[in-house]
């Protein structure tokens, strides 16, 4: 490990948009040894390079700030990186390791449970028109002036899960509690694996054609990027609700906007987007049949408390020339 630092190092904490890390852990020991700058809304490009050029340590909130090899090359003082969670898809770990820069991460906390609950919040909010009904009440109304479709019921409907891992299997259990039939598909799904979670393995075409609710729970891979393209979106039921609390790369963004404008699927409830924060001029913002939330799946007090504790543990170990916990090999 590195020798003890002879002067006060600079630590930059990037993209803690919730401003939670400083609140949820005791940073006093770190402040005694280092200067800490919280850059909660970091710039990009050259402005970011200038802001963090003299940082010896970086704290990354998940993968919100891409750290590629070119950016890492332009940070000559960098000596340690810690990121929250257990996976960072925009961090070039190889570039850091080539320079001998240690990288560690935090624990997750109850993020799987949190994302499952967020998924069901999206499903129920879309099914029962929560956003529209709340807006009507705030406008001083009670019922709509014109007739229109009413909210639905989940009991007896079909839930299609694209992915049945730690989060998807939790979503399946809740679906059973609502009295739903659960179908599932993923590139490596088997009937036996599906049956363990009370689901029936089908091909993707069958899942899309039969499911009232289609919920995505895959990590993108070359074979699944843009999985839901125009053709597949058009094959969904005309009353279907598409839910994505996983990764935006699974859906063709432009095709989704066009499909929603055409009314098939009937509705989308989305927590993840290709560009985050979602640009003000993104067409999704203007669609009445889209429920949008700002990537809240993992954003809960217990999860961020675990993030904060893990970040402080890693920084203190590094500042004391000790091996940080949860190092990447």
Write down the pLDDT at residue 111.
Answer: 97
The catalytically annotated residue of 247, 264, 320, 326 is 247
Domain ranges of the chain: 10-110+301-319, 111-292
Structure letter (DSSP) for residue 276: S
* Residue 213 to residue 5: CA distance in whole angstroms: 55
* Residue 172 to residue 139: CA distance in whole angstroms: 37
If residue 1 lies in a helix (H) or strand (E), which one and from where to where? none
Whether 247 is a known active-site residue: answer yes
Q: How many CA atoms lie within 13 A of 144 on its CB side?
A: 11
Write down the pLDDT at residue 196.
Answer: 98
Nearest Cα residue to 28 out of 303, 314, 316 = 316
The catalytically annotated residue of 77, 276, 301, 322 is 276
| Mean pLDDT in consecutive groups of 10 residues from the start of the chain, 329 residues | 67 98 98 98 96 98 96 98 96 97 97 98 98 97 95 98 98 98 98 98 98 97 96 98 98 98 98 96 98 98 98 98 94
* Residue 95 to residue 44: CA distance in whole angstroms: 19
Q: What is the pTM of this model?
A: 0.93
Whether 295 is a known active-site residue: answer yes
Q: How many CA atoms lie within 13 A of 312 on its CB side?
A: 19
Backbone angles phi, psi at 232, to 5 degrees: -70, -40
Write down the pLDDT at residue 6.
Answer: 53
Strand partners, 183: 160, 200
Burial of 146 (0-12, 13-18, 19+ CB in 10 A): exposed
Write down the pLDDT at residue 7.
Answer: 82
Tokens 């449970």 — which residue?
Answer: 113
- From the options 3.40.50.10490, 3.40.50.720, 3.90.1300.10, 3.40.1390.10, give the CATH code of 111-292: 3.40.50.720
Alpha helix segments (H runs only) across the chain: 28-33, 45-52, 69-73, 93-98, 111-127, 130-138, 166-177, 191-196, 204-210, 230-234, 253-262, 301-319
The catalytically annotated residue of 105, 217, 295, 306 is 295
The reply to whether 111-292 shares the fold of 10-110+301-319 is yes
Nearest Cα residue to 164 out of 190, 187, 184 = 184
Fold for the domain defined by 10-110+301-319? Rossmann fold (3.40.50)
Backbone angles phi, psi at 233, to 5 degrees: -60, -40
Cis preceding linkage at 71, omega within 30: no
Whether 146 is a known active-site residue: answer no
């Amino acid at each position: 490990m590195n020798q003890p630092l002879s002067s006060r190092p600079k630590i930059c904490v990037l993209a803690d948009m919730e401003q939670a890390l400083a609140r949820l852990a005791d940073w006093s020991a770190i402040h005694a040894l280092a200067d800490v700058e919280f850059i909660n809304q970091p710039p990009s490009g050259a402005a970011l390079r200038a802001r963090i050029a003299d940082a010896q340590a970086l704290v990354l909130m998940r993968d919100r700030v891409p750290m590629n090899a070119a950016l890492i090359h332009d940070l000559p003082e960098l000596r340690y990186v810690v990121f929250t969670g257990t996976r960072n898809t925009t961090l070039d770990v190889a570039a850091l390791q080539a320079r001998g820069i240690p990288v560690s991460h935090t624990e997750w906390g109850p993020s799987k449970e949190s994302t499952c609950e967020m998924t069901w919040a999206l499903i129920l909010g879309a099914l029962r028109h929560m956003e529209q009904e709340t807006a009507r009440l705030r406008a001083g109304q009670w019922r709509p002036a014109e007739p229109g479709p009413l909210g639905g019921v989940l009991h007896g409907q079909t839930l299609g899960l694209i992915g049945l891992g730690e989060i998807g299997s939790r979503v399946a259990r809740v679906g059973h509690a609502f009295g739903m039939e659960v179908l599932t598909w993923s590139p490596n799904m088997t009937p036996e694996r599906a049956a363990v979670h009370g689901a029936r393995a089908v091909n993707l075409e069958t899942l899309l054609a039969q499911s009232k609710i289609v919920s995505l729970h895959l990590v993108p891979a070359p074979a699944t990027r843009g999985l839901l393209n125009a053709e597949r979106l058009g094959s969904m039921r005309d009353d279907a609700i598409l839910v994505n609390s996983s990764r935006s790369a699974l859906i063709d963004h432009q095709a989704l906007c066009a499909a929603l404008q055409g009314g098939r699927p009937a509705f989308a409830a989305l927590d993840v987007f290709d560009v985050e924060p979602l640009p003000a001029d993104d067409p999704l913002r203007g669609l009445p049949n889209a429920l949008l939330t700002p990537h809240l799946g993992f954003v809960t007090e217990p999860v961020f408390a675990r993030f904060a504790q893990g970040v402080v543990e890693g920084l203190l170990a590094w500042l004391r020339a000790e091996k940080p916990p949860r190092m990447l090999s």
